[in-house]
A and B are shown apart, each in its own frame.
Chain A
Amino acid sequence: MNRRVYLDHNASTPVHPEVVEAMLPYFSERFGNPSSVHGFGREAREGLETAREQVAHFLRVGKEEIVFTSGGTESDNLAIKGVAMGRRRGHVITSKIEHHAVLRAVQSLETLGFEATYLDVDGDGLVDPEAVRRAIRPDTVLISVMHANSEVGTIQPVGEIGAIARQHGIPLHVDAVQTFGKAPLDLHALDIDLLSFSGHKIYGPKGVAGLYIRKGTKMVSVQHGGEHERRRRAGTENVAGIVGLGRAVEIRGRDMAEEAGRLTALRDRLWEGIRARVPDVRLSGHPTRRLPGTCNICFRHVESESIVLGLDLKGIGVSAGSACTSGNVEPSYVLVAMGVPVEWAMGAVRHSLGRCTTAEDIDYVVESTVPLVARLRSAMPVRA
Protein backbone atom coordinates (compact mmCIF):
# COMPACT_ATOMS: atom_id res chain seq x y z
CA MET A 1 0.00 0.00 0.00
CA ASN A 2 1.38 3.35 -1.07
CA ARG A 3 1.73 6.21 1.33
CA ARG A 4 -1.07 8.75 0.70
CA VAL A 5 -0.17 12.43 0.46
CA TYR A 6 -2.79 15.07 -0.24
CA LEU A 7 -1.34 18.24 -1.75
CA ASP A 8 -4.52 19.73 -3.21
CA HIS A 9 -5.71 21.87 -0.31
CA ASN A 10 -6.49 24.82 -2.61
CA ALA A 11 -9.17 22.58 -4.15
CA SER A 12 -10.63 21.36 -0.86
CA THR A 13 -9.60 20.37 2.66
CA PRO A 14 -10.58 17.56 5.01
CA VAL A 15 -13.12 18.66 7.61
CA HIS A 16 -11.44 19.23 10.98
CA PRO A 17 -12.62 16.72 13.61
CA GLU A 18 -13.61 19.58 15.95
CA VAL A 19 -15.75 20.99 13.13
CA VAL A 20 -17.52 17.66 12.63
CA GLU A 21 -18.17 17.52 16.37
CA ALA A 22 -19.68 21.01 16.36
CA MET A 23 -21.92 20.21 13.38
CA LEU A 24 -23.33 16.86 14.51
CA PRO A 25 -26.09 18.11 16.86
CA TYR A 26 -27.49 20.25 14.05
CA PHE A 27 -28.40 17.27 11.91
CA SER A 28 -30.71 15.45 14.30
CA GLU A 29 -31.16 17.38 17.56
CA ARG A 30 -31.15 21.07 16.63
CA PHE A 31 -32.63 20.46 13.21
CA GLY A 32 -35.28 23.18 13.16
CA ASN A 33 -35.72 25.86 10.56
CA PRO A 34 -33.94 28.95 11.91
CA SER A 35 -36.80 31.13 10.64
CA SER A 36 -39.36 29.27 12.78
CA VAL A 37 -40.46 30.98 15.98
CA HIS A 38 -40.78 27.84 18.12
CA GLY A 39 -38.08 26.33 20.31
CA PHE A 40 -36.77 24.00 17.61
CA GLY A 41 -36.28 26.96 15.31
CA ARG A 42 -34.73 29.06 18.05
CA GLU A 43 -32.15 26.35 18.74
CA ALA A 44 -31.13 26.35 15.08
CA ARG A 45 -31.15 30.16 14.99
CA GLU A 46 -28.83 30.21 18.00
CA GLY A 47 -26.29 28.03 16.13
CA LEU A 48 -26.58 30.23 13.06
CA GLU A 49 -26.04 33.47 14.96
CA THR A 50 -23.16 32.05 16.98
CA ALA A 51 -21.43 31.17 13.70
CA ARG A 52 -22.11 34.68 12.40
CA GLU A 53 -20.48 36.10 15.52
CA GLN A 54 -17.48 33.80 15.09
CA VAL A 55 -16.93 34.94 11.51
CA ALA A 56 -17.53 38.61 12.36
CA HIS A 57 -15.11 38.38 15.30
CA PHE A 58 -12.45 36.79 13.07
CA LEU A 59 -12.83 39.53 10.44
CA ARG A 60 -13.32 42.25 13.08
CA VAL A 61 -16.54 43.47 11.46
CA GLY A 62 -20.16 43.72 12.52
CA LYS A 63 -22.17 40.49 12.55
CA GLU A 64 -24.92 42.16 10.52
CA GLU A 65 -22.33 42.58 7.76
CA ILE A 66 -21.99 38.80 7.23
CA VAL A 67 -24.26 36.93 4.80
CA PHE A 68 -24.07 33.16 4.52
CA THR A 69 -24.26 31.53 1.09
CA SER A 70 -23.88 28.10 -0.48
CA GLY A 71 -20.33 28.53 -1.78
CA GLY A 72 -17.63 30.89 -2.96
CA THR A 73 -19.20 30.96 -6.40
CA GLU A 74 -22.50 32.20 -5.01
CA SER A 75 -20.71 34.78 -2.87
CA ASP A 76 -18.87 36.15 -5.90
CA ASN A 77 -22.06 36.23 -7.98
CA LEU A 78 -23.99 37.97 -5.20
CA ALA A 79 -21.29 40.59 -4.74
CA ILE A 80 -20.73 41.36 -8.42
CA LYS A 81 -24.27 41.14 -9.74
CA GLY A 82 -25.77 42.56 -6.56
CA VAL A 83 -23.68 45.74 -6.71
CA ALA A 84 -23.80 46.16 -10.51
CA MET A 85 -27.49 45.48 -10.95
CA GLY A 86 -28.27 48.06 -8.29
CA ARG A 87 -26.87 50.57 -10.80
CA ARG A 88 -28.51 49.12 -13.91
CA ARG A 89 -25.68 50.22 -16.26
CA GLY A 90 -22.00 50.90 -15.87
CA HIS A 91 -18.44 49.65 -16.01
CA VAL A 92 -16.74 46.93 -13.97
CA ILE A 93 -12.99 46.44 -13.48
CA THR A 94 -11.49 43.05 -12.75
CA SER A 95 -8.34 41.09 -13.66
CA LYS A 96 -7.64 38.36 -16.19
CA ILE A 97 -6.65 35.83 -13.52
CA GLU A 98 -9.79 35.87 -11.38
CA HIS A 99 -11.64 32.67 -10.55
CA HIS A 100 -14.24 31.68 -13.14
CA ALA A 101 -16.95 32.62 -10.64
CA VAL A 102 -15.83 36.24 -10.97
CA LEU A 103 -14.93 36.22 -14.66
CA ARG A 104 -18.19 34.63 -15.74
CA ALA A 105 -20.28 36.79 -13.43
CA VAL A 106 -18.69 39.86 -15.03
CA GLN A 107 -19.18 38.38 -18.51
CA SER A 108 -22.85 37.84 -17.71
CA LEU A 109 -23.12 41.54 -16.84
CA GLU A 110 -21.67 42.37 -20.25
CA THR A 111 -24.57 40.52 -21.88
CA LEU A 112 -26.87 42.87 -19.97
CA GLY A 113 -25.21 46.00 -21.31
CA PHE A 114 -22.50 46.58 -18.71
CA GLU A 115 -18.94 47.12 -19.88
CA ALA A 116 -15.87 45.52 -18.36
CA THR A 117 -12.11 45.96 -18.23
CA TYR A 118 -10.01 42.84 -17.62
CA LEU A 119 -6.64 43.97 -16.28
CA ASP A 120 -3.38 42.32 -17.25
CA VAL A 121 -1.02 40.93 -14.63
CA ASP A 122 2.77 40.87 -14.60
CA GLY A 123 5.00 37.80 -14.77
CA ASP A 124 4.51 37.12 -11.05
CA GLY A 125 0.72 37.37 -11.36
CA LEU A 126 0.42 40.82 -9.77
CA VAL A 127 -2.17 43.42 -10.75
CA ASP A 128 -0.65 46.90 -11.00
CA PRO A 129 -2.68 49.30 -8.79
CA GLU A 130 -1.86 52.12 -11.22
CA ALA A 131 -3.50 50.08 -13.99
CA VAL A 132 -6.61 49.96 -11.81
CA ARG A 133 -6.48 53.73 -11.44
CA ARG A 134 -6.08 54.20 -15.20
CA ALA A 135 -9.02 51.88 -15.93
CA ILE A 136 -11.45 53.84 -13.75
CA ARG A 137 -14.15 55.67 -15.68
CA PRO A 138 -16.86 58.04 -14.49
CA ASP A 139 -19.36 55.18 -14.81
CA THR A 140 -17.25 52.51 -13.03
CA VAL A 141 -19.56 50.81 -10.52
CA LEU A 142 -17.34 48.06 -9.12
CA ILE A 143 -13.75 46.84 -8.85
CA SER A 144 -13.30 43.11 -8.20
CA VAL A 145 -9.81 41.77 -7.55
CA MET A 146 -8.95 38.50 -5.85
CA HIS A 147 -6.83 38.48 -2.71
CA ALA A 148 -4.75 35.46 -3.69
CA ASN A 149 -4.78 33.37 -6.82
CA SER A 150 -5.70 29.72 -6.36
CA GLU A 151 -3.28 28.40 -9.00
CA VAL A 152 -0.10 30.29 -8.25
CA GLY A 153 -0.85 31.77 -4.82
CA THR A 154 0.24 35.33 -5.65
CA ILE A 155 -1.21 37.80 -3.15
CA GLN A 156 -2.46 41.02 -4.75
CA PRO A 157 -1.72 44.53 -3.47
CA VAL A 158 -5.31 44.81 -2.26
CA GLY A 159 -4.53 47.65 0.16
CA GLU A 160 -3.25 49.90 -2.62
CA ILE A 161 -6.16 48.99 -4.89
CA GLY A 162 -8.58 49.58 -2.02
CA ALA A 163 -7.16 53.06 -1.40
CA ILE A 164 -7.67 53.94 -5.08
CA ALA A 165 -11.21 52.55 -5.03
CA ARG A 166 -11.97 54.55 -1.89
CA GLN A 167 -10.58 57.78 -3.43
CA HIS A 168 -13.01 57.36 -6.32
CA GLY A 169 -15.94 56.16 -4.22
CA ILE A 170 -16.11 52.82 -6.05
CA PRO A 171 -16.97 49.66 -4.10
CA LEU A 172 -14.19 47.05 -3.96
CA HIS A 173 -15.03 43.34 -3.98
CA VAL A 174 -12.30 40.90 -3.02
CA ASP A 175 -12.54 37.17 -3.65
CA ALA A 176 -10.62 35.93 -0.62
CA VAL A 177 -11.64 32.27 -0.87
CA GLN A 178 -7.98 31.21 -0.96
CA THR A 179 -6.76 33.61 1.73
CA PHE A 180 -9.52 33.65 4.34
CA GLY A 181 -8.28 31.69 7.33
CA LYS A 182 -4.77 31.38 5.93
CA ALA A 183 -3.45 34.93 6.16
CA PRO A 184 -4.52 37.96 8.20
CA LEU A 185 -7.15 40.21 6.62
CA ASP A 186 -7.86 43.70 7.94
CA LEU A 187 -10.90 44.73 5.93
CA HIS A 188 -10.89 48.30 7.19
CA ALA A 189 -7.19 48.90 6.54
CA LEU A 190 -7.57 47.34 3.09
CA ASP A 191 -10.70 49.38 2.25
CA ILE A 192 -12.63 46.27 1.23
CA ASP A 193 -16.40 46.66 0.79
CA LEU A 194 -17.28 43.07 -0.11
CA LEU A 195 -15.30 39.92 0.66
CA SER A 196 -16.08 36.36 -0.47
CA PHE A 197 -14.97 33.45 1.69
CA SER A 198 -15.64 29.74 1.79
CA GLY A 199 -15.84 26.90 4.31
CA HIS A 200 -14.26 23.93 2.60
CA LYS A 201 -10.92 25.64 1.96
CA ILE A 202 -10.38 26.02 5.71
CA TYR A 203 -11.27 22.54 7.02
CA GLY A 204 -14.99 23.32 7.12
CA PRO A 205 -17.73 21.57 5.14
CA LYS A 206 -18.55 22.04 1.46
CA GLY A 207 -21.72 23.87 0.45
CA VAL A 208 -21.28 26.75 2.86
CA ALA A 209 -19.58 30.10 2.42
CA GLY A 210 -20.18 33.76 3.05
CA LEU A 211 -19.96 37.31 1.89
CA TYR A 212 -18.93 40.28 3.99
CA ILE A 213 -20.90 43.35 2.91
CA ARG A 214 -19.71 46.60 4.45
CA LYS A 215 -22.57 48.46 6.09
CA GLY A 216 -23.97 51.05 3.67
CA THR A 217 -22.87 49.23 0.49
CA LYS A 218 -25.62 49.67 -2.07
CA MET A 219 -26.68 46.44 -3.70
CA VAL A 220 -29.70 44.37 -4.63
CA SER A 221 -30.33 40.71 -3.96
CA VAL A 222 -29.96 38.36 -6.92
CA GLN A 223 -31.79 35.38 -5.47
CA HIS A 224 -35.42 36.00 -4.60
CA GLY A 225 -37.64 34.26 -2.09
CA GLY A 226 -37.95 34.61 1.67
CA GLU A 227 -36.44 37.28 3.88
CA HIS A 228 -33.42 35.29 5.02
CA GLU A 229 -30.06 36.89 5.74
CA ARG A 230 -31.63 40.34 6.14
CA ARG A 231 -33.25 40.05 2.71
CA ARG A 232 -29.86 39.83 1.03
CA ARG A 233 -29.90 36.08 0.25
CA ALA A 234 -33.17 34.20 0.08
CA GLY A 235 -33.25 30.54 1.07
CA THR A 236 -33.21 28.51 4.27
CA GLU A 237 -29.73 28.59 5.74
CA ASN A 238 -27.58 25.44 5.80
CA VAL A 239 -27.44 25.56 9.58
CA ALA A 240 -25.18 22.55 10.22
CA GLY A 241 -22.79 23.74 7.52
CA ILE A 242 -22.76 27.28 8.85
CA VAL A 243 -22.12 26.05 12.39
CA GLY A 244 -19.19 24.09 10.94
CA LEU A 245 -17.92 27.17 9.13
CA GLY A 246 -18.10 29.18 12.33
CA ARG A 247 -16.12 26.57 14.25
CA ALA A 248 -13.60 26.24 11.41
CA VAL A 249 -13.04 29.99 11.47
CA GLU A 250 -12.50 29.92 15.22
CA ILE A 251 -9.89 27.17 14.81
CA ARG A 252 -8.16 29.09 12.03
CA GLY A 253 -7.90 32.11 14.30
CA ARG A 254 -6.11 29.87 16.80
CA ASP A 255 -3.82 27.98 14.40
CA MET A 256 -3.33 30.26 11.38
CA ALA A 257 -0.17 32.16 12.33
CA GLU A 258 1.84 29.13 13.45
CA GLU A 259 0.70 27.11 10.45
CA ALA A 260 1.61 29.83 7.95
CA GLY A 261 5.24 29.72 9.04
CA ARG A 262 5.36 25.94 8.97
CA LEU A 263 3.75 25.68 5.53
CA THR A 264 6.00 28.36 4.06
CA ALA A 265 9.03 26.32 5.13
CA LEU A 266 7.55 23.11 3.69
CA ARG A 267 6.55 24.84 0.46
CA ASP A 268 10.11 26.09 0.03
CA ARG A 269 11.50 22.64 0.91
CA LEU A 270 9.39 21.17 -1.90
CA TRP A 271 10.56 23.72 -4.46
CA GLU A 272 14.21 23.47 -3.42
CA GLY A 273 14.03 19.66 -3.46
CA ILE A 274 12.65 19.56 -6.98
CA ARG A 275 14.77 22.39 -8.34
CA ALA A 276 17.94 20.70 -7.11
CA ARG A 277 17.18 17.39 -8.81
CA VAL A 278 14.96 18.04 -11.83
CA PRO A 279 16.31 20.11 -14.73
CA ASP A 280 14.13 22.55 -16.67
CA VAL A 281 11.68 23.51 -13.94
CA ARG A 282 10.36 26.92 -12.96
CA LEU A 283 8.26 28.26 -10.14
CA SER A 284 5.15 30.24 -11.07
CA GLY A 285 3.83 32.98 -8.86
CA HIS A 286 5.45 35.67 -6.78
CA PRO A 287 8.60 34.46 -4.99
CA THR A 288 7.56 35.94 -1.63
CA ARG A 289 4.09 37.55 -1.86
CA ARG A 290 2.51 34.12 -2.08
CA LEU A 291 0.13 31.91 -0.11
CA PRO A 292 2.09 29.90 2.47
CA GLY A 293 1.16 26.48 1.11
CA THR A 294 1.05 27.03 -2.65
CA CYS A 295 3.82 25.84 -4.96
CA ASN A 296 3.10 25.80 -8.70
CA ILE A 297 5.93 24.18 -10.64
CA CYS A 298 6.20 24.02 -14.44
CA PHE A 299 8.05 21.00 -15.83
CA ARG A 300 9.20 21.95 -19.30
CA HIS A 301 8.26 19.59 -22.12
CA VAL A 302 6.19 17.29 -19.94
CA GLU A 303 2.41 17.27 -19.98
CA SER A 304 1.06 18.02 -16.52
CA GLU A 305 -1.67 15.37 -16.67
CA SER A 306 0.92 12.64 -17.08
CA ILE A 307 2.68 13.89 -13.94
CA VAL A 308 -0.62 14.02 -12.06
CA LEU A 309 -1.39 10.43 -13.11
CA GLY A 310 2.11 9.23 -12.25
CA LEU A 311 1.96 10.83 -8.80
CA ASP A 312 -1.59 9.55 -8.29
CA LEU A 313 -0.26 6.03 -8.77
CA LYS A 314 2.12 6.80 -5.90
CA GLY A 315 -0.79 7.89 -3.70
CA ILE A 316 -0.10 11.62 -4.15
CA GLY A 317 -2.87 14.09 -4.97
CA VAL A 318 -1.79 17.23 -6.85
CA SER A 319 -3.53 19.24 -9.53
CA ALA A 320 -2.73 19.77 -13.21
CA GLY A 321 -2.25 23.25 -14.58
CA SER A 322 -3.46 22.22 -18.00
CA ALA A 323 -6.69 20.37 -18.51
CA CYS A 324 -7.40 17.82 -21.22
CA THR A 325 -11.08 17.67 -22.02
CA SER A 326 -12.52 15.84 -25.01
CA GLY A 327 -9.19 15.82 -26.77
CA ASN A 328 -8.51 19.52 -26.25
CA VAL A 329 -5.76 20.70 -23.98
CA GLU A 330 -5.74 24.26 -22.78
CA PRO A 331 -2.88 25.65 -20.75
CA SER A 332 -4.01 27.47 -17.62
CA TYR A 333 -5.45 30.89 -18.45
CA VAL A 334 -3.75 32.22 -15.33
CA LEU A 335 -0.30 31.13 -16.52
CA VAL A 336 -1.02 32.39 -20.03
CA ALA A 337 -2.00 35.80 -18.59
CA MET A 338 1.28 35.80 -16.65
CA GLY A 339 3.16 35.30 -19.90
CA VAL A 340 4.39 31.78 -19.12
CA PRO A 341 5.39 30.18 -22.47
CA VAL A 342 3.09 27.36 -23.60
CA GLU A 343 5.78 24.66 -23.47
CA TRP A 344 6.20 25.46 -19.78
CA ALA A 345 2.52 26.11 -18.99
CA MET A 346 1.52 22.70 -20.39
CA GLY A 347 3.63 21.08 -17.68
CA ALA A 348 2.30 23.07 -14.71
CA VAL A 349 1.56 21.16 -11.52
CA ARG A 350 0.05 22.84 -8.46
CA HIS A 351 1.02 21.52 -5.06
CA SER A 352 -1.07 23.02 -2.25
CA LEU A 353 -0.10 22.05 1.28
CA GLY A 354 -2.25 21.95 4.39
CA ARG A 355 -2.34 21.48 8.11
CA CYS A 356 -1.56 17.74 8.00
CA THR A 357 1.33 18.01 5.53
CA THR A 358 4.66 16.89 7.01
CA ALA A 359 8.30 17.17 5.96
CA GLU A 360 8.24 13.41 5.29
CA ASP A 361 5.31 13.95 2.90
CA ILE A 362 7.26 16.61 1.02
CA ASP A 363 10.34 14.39 0.77
CA TYR A 364 8.17 11.54 -0.54
CA VAL A 365 6.69 13.82 -3.20
CA VAL A 366 10.18 14.93 -4.28
CA GLU A 367 11.43 11.33 -4.33
CA SER A 368 8.42 10.31 -6.44
CA THR A 369 8.61 13.26 -8.82
CA VAL A 370 12.29 12.99 -9.76
CA PRO A 371 12.20 9.54 -11.45
CA LEU A 372 8.71 10.12 -12.87
CA VAL A 373 9.69 13.27 -14.75
CA ALA A 374 12.93 11.63 -15.91
CA ARG A 375 10.97 8.65 -17.26
CA LEU A 376 8.39 10.84 -19.02
CA ARG A 377 11.12 12.96 -20.57
CA SER A 378 13.15 9.94 -21.66
CA ALA A 379 10.37 8.92 -24.06
CA MET A 380 9.61 12.44 -25.19
CA PRO A 381 9.93 13.17 -28.90
CA VAL A 382 11.59 16.37 -30.03
CA ARG A 383 9.18 18.21 -32.30
CA ALA A 384 10.41 18.70 -35.84
Chain B
Amino acid sequence: MQYSPVLIDHFRNPRNAGIMRTPDGVGEGESKECMDLVRFHLRVRDGQVVEARFQAYGCGPTIAAASAATEVATGCALEALLEVPAARVEAAVGGLPETRRHAAEVAALALRAAARDALNRMVTRSGRHA
Protein backbone atom coordinates (compact mmCIF):
# COMPACT_ATOMS: atom_id res chain seq x y z
CA MET B 1 0.00 0.00 0.00
CA GLN B 2 1.49 3.32 -1.09
CA TYR B 3 0.77 6.28 1.20
CA SER B 4 1.59 9.95 0.69
CA PRO B 5 4.61 11.44 2.50
CA VAL B 6 2.18 13.76 4.34
CA LEU B 7 0.20 10.79 5.65
CA ILE B 8 3.37 9.01 6.71
CA ASP B 9 4.53 12.14 8.52
CA HIS B 10 1.24 12.43 10.42
CA PHE B 11 1.38 8.75 11.34
CA ARG B 12 4.99 8.97 12.44
CA ASN B 13 4.62 12.30 14.27
CA PRO B 14 0.97 12.67 15.22
CA ARG B 15 -0.07 16.25 16.00
CA ASN B 16 -2.26 17.00 18.99
CA ALA B 17 -2.67 13.42 20.18
CA GLY B 18 -4.33 12.84 23.52
CA ILE B 19 -7.10 14.33 25.59
CA MET B 20 -7.95 17.81 26.88
CA ARG B 21 -9.12 18.95 30.32
CA THR B 22 -12.56 20.58 30.30
CA PRO B 23 -13.07 20.68 26.53
CA ASP B 24 -15.76 22.87 25.00
CA GLY B 25 -16.85 20.13 22.62
CA VAL B 26 -16.34 16.37 22.27
CA GLY B 27 -17.33 14.22 19.31
CA GLU B 28 -16.80 10.69 18.06
CA GLY B 29 -16.87 9.01 14.70
CA GLU B 30 -16.98 5.25 14.36
CA SER B 31 -16.95 2.84 11.48
CA LYS B 32 -18.88 -0.30 12.38
CA GLU B 33 -17.40 -2.16 9.40
CA CYS B 34 -13.75 -1.58 10.19
CA MET B 35 -14.15 -0.92 13.93
CA ASP B 36 -12.19 2.34 13.70
CA LEU B 37 -12.95 4.97 16.32
CA VAL B 38 -11.85 8.63 16.34
CA ARG B 39 -12.62 11.14 19.11
CA PHE B 40 -11.91 14.89 19.11
CA HIS B 41 -11.77 17.33 22.00
CA LEU B 42 -12.18 21.00 21.01
CA ARG B 43 -11.32 24.23 22.79
CA VAL B 44 -13.42 27.11 21.43
CA ARG B 45 -13.12 30.88 21.75
CA ASP B 46 -15.64 33.25 20.16
CA GLY B 47 -17.09 30.51 17.99
CA GLN B 48 -13.69 29.47 16.65
CA VAL B 49 -11.63 26.35 17.41
CA VAL B 50 -8.40 27.39 19.10
CA GLU B 51 -7.21 23.90 20.00
CA ALA B 52 -8.12 20.36 18.90
CA ARG B 53 -6.87 17.04 20.25
CA PHE B 54 -7.56 13.51 19.02
CA GLN B 55 -7.68 9.92 20.13
CA ALA B 56 -7.85 7.16 17.51
CA TYR B 57 -8.10 3.41 17.23
CA GLY B 58 -7.60 2.06 13.74
CA CYS B 59 -5.20 1.50 10.91
CA GLY B 60 -2.31 3.88 10.13
CA PRO B 61 -4.35 6.08 7.74
CA THR B 62 -7.04 6.57 10.38
CA ILE B 63 -4.49 7.75 12.94
CA ALA B 64 -2.91 10.05 10.33
CA ALA B 65 -6.31 11.41 9.24
CA ALA B 66 -7.26 12.17 12.86
CA SER B 67 -3.95 13.98 13.36
CA ALA B 68 -4.41 16.02 10.17
CA ALA B 69 -8.01 16.78 11.07
CA THR B 70 -6.89 18.56 14.27
CA GLU B 71 -4.95 20.95 12.01
CA VAL B 72 -7.96 21.36 9.73
CA ALA B 73 -10.12 22.23 12.75
CA THR B 74 -7.76 24.68 14.44
CA GLY B 75 -8.70 28.24 13.49
CA CYS B 76 -11.93 27.09 11.88
CA ALA B 77 -15.36 28.49 12.80
CA LEU B 78 -17.65 25.92 14.46
CA GLU B 79 -20.38 26.62 11.92
CA ALA B 80 -18.00 25.71 9.09
CA LEU B 81 -16.85 22.55 10.87
CA LEU B 82 -20.45 21.33 11.11
CA GLU B 83 -20.29 20.40 7.48
CA VAL B 84 -16.61 19.62 7.01
CA PRO B 85 -16.42 17.00 4.23
CA ALA B 86 -14.27 13.88 4.31
CA ALA B 87 -12.57 15.19 1.17
CA ARG B 88 -11.12 18.07 3.21
CA VAL B 89 -9.52 15.63 5.65
CA GLU B 90 -8.36 13.40 2.83
CA ALA B 91 -6.68 16.37 1.15
CA ALA B 92 -4.97 17.20 4.45
CA VAL B 93 -3.19 13.82 4.41
CA GLY B 94 -2.22 14.15 0.77
CA GLY B 95 -4.88 11.75 -0.51
CA LEU B 96 -5.85 8.18 0.40
CA PRO B 97 -5.95 4.90 -1.52
CA GLU B 98 -9.49 3.84 -2.44
CA THR B 99 -9.53 1.09 0.19
CA ARG B 100 -8.56 3.52 2.96
CA ARG B 101 -11.05 6.34 2.27
CA HIS B 102 -12.92 5.34 5.42
CA ALA B 103 -10.08 6.91 7.42
CA ALA B 104 -11.06 10.42 6.28
CA GLU B 105 -14.75 9.63 6.64
CA VAL B 106 -14.42 8.54 10.27
CA ALA B 107 -12.28 11.58 11.13
CA ALA B 108 -14.70 14.00 9.42
CA LEU B 109 -17.65 12.34 11.15
CA ALA B 110 -15.98 12.83 14.54
CA LEU B 111 -15.05 16.43 13.75
CA ARG B 112 -18.63 17.30 12.79
CA ALA B 113 -19.90 15.64 15.98
CA ALA B 114 -17.42 17.60 18.10
CA ALA B 115 -18.44 20.90 16.44
CA ARG B 116 -22.13 20.06 16.98
CA ASP B 117 -21.47 19.29 20.64
CA ALA B 118 -19.56 22.57 21.10
CA LEU B 119 -22.37 24.58 19.49
CA ASN B 120 -25.00 22.82 21.62
CA ARG B 121 -23.03 23.66 24.76
CA MET B 122 -22.76 27.30 23.67
CA VAL B 123 -26.54 27.45 23.14
CA THR B 124 -27.17 25.83 26.52
CA ARG B 125 -24.79 28.26 28.24
CA SER B 126 -26.31 31.32 26.57
CA GLY B 127 -29.83 30.08 27.47
CA ARG B 128 -28.74 29.69 31.08
CA HIS B 129 -27.35 33.23 31.12
CA ALA B 130 -30.47 34.78 29.49
Residues of A within 8 A of B (CB): 301-303, 305-306, 309-310, 313, 324-329, 346, 375-376, 378-381, 383-384
Contacts and interface: CB of A to CB of B under 8 A. Distances in A.
A323 to B, nearest CB: 10
A375 B56 CA distance: 11
B18 A378 contact: yes
Contact of A306 (B33, B34, B60, B99): B60
Contacts of A375: 14
A379 B55 CA distance: 5
B58 interface: yes
A379 B59 contact: no
A327 B28 contact: no
Contacts of A378: 17-18
A314 to B, nearest CB: 10
Interface in B83-129: 98-102
A136 to B, nearest CB: 39
Given A376-B63, A378-B18, A379-B63, A309 B11 contact: yes
If over half of B's interface residues share one DSSP class (helix, strand or loop), that class is named, otherwise mixed; here it is: mixed
A313 B12 contact: yes
Nearest to A347: B57
Given A309-B59, A379-B63, 8 more contacts: A301-B57, A309-B3, A310-B11, A324-B100, A376-B63, A378-B17, A378-B18, A379-B17
A326 B37 CA distance: 16
A163 B57 CA distance: 48
B130 interface: no
Contacts of A309: 3, 11, 59-60
A381 B56 CA distance: 6
B6 interface: no
* Best-surrounded residue of A301, A302, A329 (most CB of chain B within 10 A): A329
Q: How large is the interface on B (under 10, 10 to 19, 20 to 34, 35 or more residues)?
A: 20 to 34
Contact of A313 (B8, B17, B99): B8
A379 B37 contact: no
Contact of B39 (A301, A346, A381): A381
A379 B126 CA distance: 33
B48 interface: no
Interface in B5-29: 8, 11-12, 14, 17-18, 28
Given A306-B59, A329-B33, A324 B18 contact: no
The 4 closest A-B CB pairs, nearest first, are: A309-B60, A381-B55, A327-B102, A305-B59
Interface string B63-97: 10010000000000000000000000000000000
A301, A303, A313, A328: residue with the most chain B Cβ atoms closer than 10 Å = A303
Nearest to A382: B55
A380 B56 contact: yes
5 contacts: A306-B59, A310-B11, A313-B11, A379-B66, A381-B57
Contact of B58 (A303, A326, A328, A384): A303
B99 A324 contact: yes
A46 to B, nearest CB: 44
A158 to B, nearest CB: 36
Contacts of B37: 381, 383
A203 B66 CA distance: 41
Contacts of B58: 303, 306
Given A313-B12, A380-B55, A329 B35 contact: yes
Which among A306, A309, A324, A346 has the highest number of chain B CB atoms within 10 Å?
A324
A379 B54 contact: yes
A300 to B, nearest CB: 11
Contact of A329 (B34, B38, B63, B98): B34
B27 to A, nearest CB: 11
B60 A327 contact: no
Nearest to A324: B59
Given A306-B58, A309-B11, A379-B17, A346 B63 contact: no
